[in-house]
Amino acid sequence: MTQPLQPPVATKPVAIPELARRLQDGARRLEAQFLGKEEIIRLLFISAVAGEHMVMVGPPGTAKSALVRAFADTIDAHYYDYLLTRFTEPNEIFGPVDIQAFRQGAYKRRVEGMLPEAEIAFLDEIFKANSAILNSLLGVLNSRRFSHGNTTLAVPLISMFAASNEVPNDDALSALFDRFLLRVRVDYLDSYQFRGLLHKGAALESKALEAHGRQSAIKPTVSASELVAMQREFGSLLESMDEEFLATYKGLVFQIRSEGIGLSDRRVVKMLKLFAASAVFDGRTQVNDADFFVLRHVWNTPEQQDILQEIVGPILDAWYEQHPEQQRIGATPTSLQDLLAELRIIRETLASSEVLSDMQLFSQLRNLGDIKAALQRMKDNPAAERMIGEVDKLLETMFASSRFV
């Protein structure tokens, strides 16, 4: 017997430009709080628009949990989150057994306020889930169904977001990992972003202290019902994909597979929804090659990220070279002004009369290396090219010192 939970109330589909404007407002709000997370923020919104799931993998302290919780504040939806351990029991996630029903011979759970009622969910350390939880999670993620006893509930889940410190290497967890269409690596920020990290981190901590014990005063920018209504309109977006786009996609898929990166037919089809969602986020009714950036996040092991970048990067570079006026919203590059300010501080430090220790000198070398790498990503920018020249001169000066010979 299948019983539906209360799904998001049906609503008339909102116009794509209006929905995009509000999605971008939400993204900018998050970008103001979290430094260097622009692409991840964009992927959070794309996942929700497409109704797909995303997992973030990275070391502790990289703002994975804080980012998803702040993202949840931008969506008017039933939200649920939980930190899993290997000792977590099913009743902590899916609700306790209904004792009254059990006394009458029926086995069912009380799911009020638990995962089966969530529209947006976040499970931290998801790969610590034990076998008692695993099978039920697979049903929720894959078919939006939760079974308990002889009752099956249709759950209203739009997207589940998860976090882990590492990719699972246990075969028993491979099926769960496969249900997350997007896999995003979250790392520590580069050295040149350190001051910005302290500034935004302090502001975020201050807001958290001010809001302690109070409900969030942040107004959501979009509702769960609007996302569901948009997903029901995806058919026309998918059917409008032209042959040239699909031919490019075919070439990318088989190139990815030829490199030994597993990409199943099921995932290949589901990726079309993410391309369409990326277009919606930008306010477009037609996909283009810029939407292929999501393919950088279909890796199965972290080592495959560089391979995917080598495959997808040239397509993206060619697109933006042909369309320089189309600055991607939600993936703003590091500000040249920020890099210039950091470079000025390094130059002043090296030019000062104070004798620096070897550790301080190596730290500045690391900073210059990070700055140069960031500038090299800003192709065809004359200012960035000039700054690379300045970085090279500073590096030559430092290596000419006898302390590095």
- State the average pLDDT for the chain: 82
Q: Would you call 122 helix, strand, or coil by DSSP?
A: strand
> Which of 290, 320, 280, 234 is CA-nearest to residue 21?
280
Residues in the chain: 405
How many whole angstroms separate alpha carbon 180 and alpha carbon 78?
Answer: 20
pLDDT digits (tens, 9 = 90+) for 229-250: 999 888 888 888 999 999 999 9
pLDDT digits (tens, 9 = 90+) for 22-55: 999 999 999 888 877 889 999 999 999 999 999 9
Residue 159 pairs with which residues in a beta bridge?
120
Burial (0-12, 13-18, 19+ Cβ within 10 Å), 100:
exposed
Q: Would you call 101 helix, strand, or coil by DSSP?
A: helix
Main-chain phi, psi angles of 121, to 5 degrees: -130, 150
pLDDT digits (tens, 9 = 90+) for 111-124: 899 999 999 999 99
Stretch among 103-112, 311-320, 332-341 having the lowest mean pLDDT:
332-341
Tell me the one-letter amino acid at 16.
I
Residue spans of beta strands (DSSP E) within 320-362? none
175 contact partners, CB below 8 Å, separation of at least 6: 138
Tell me the one-letter amino acid at 289.
D
Triad 59, 64, 69: Cα angle to 5°: 160
Residue 109 pairs with which residues in a beta bridge?
97
pLDDT digits (tens, 9 = 90+) for 363-390: 677 777 777 777 776 655 677 777 788 8
pLDDT digits (tens, 9 = 90+) for 122-144: 999 999 988 889 888 998 998 89
Strands 151-154 vs 2-4: parallel, antiparallel or unpaired: parallel
Is it the case that residue 148 has pLDDT exceeding 90?
A: no
Q: Tokens 């697109």 map to which residue?
A: 319
Mean pLDDT value of segment 181-200? 68
Is it the case that residue 110 has pLDDT exceeding 80?
A: yes
What confidence score (pLDDT) does residue 184 get?
Answer: 94
Q: Tokens 């210039």 map to which residue?
A: 340
Which has more confidence, 209 or 143?
143
Q: Would you call 75 helix, strand, or coil by DSSP?
A: strand
C-alpha atoms less than 13 angstroms from C-alpha of 68 in its C-beta half-sphere: 28
Main-chain phi, psi angles of 75, to 5 degrees: -120, 130
Instruction: Check the CA dihedral 85-90-94-98 and report its sign.
Output: negative
CB-CB contact of 293 with 250 (8 Å): no
CB-CB contact of 361 with 398 (8 Å): yes
Q: Would you call 17 helix, strand, or coil by DSSP?
A: helix
Q: Tokens 């004798």 map to which residue?
A: 355
How many whole angstroms separate alpha carbon 261 and alpha carbon 154?
Answer: 33
144, two tokens? 């939006």
What confidence score (pLDDT) does residue 241 get?
Answer: 92
Q: In Å, what is the CA distance from 118 to each residue of 112, 136, 304, 313, 399?
A: 10, 14, 33, 36, 57
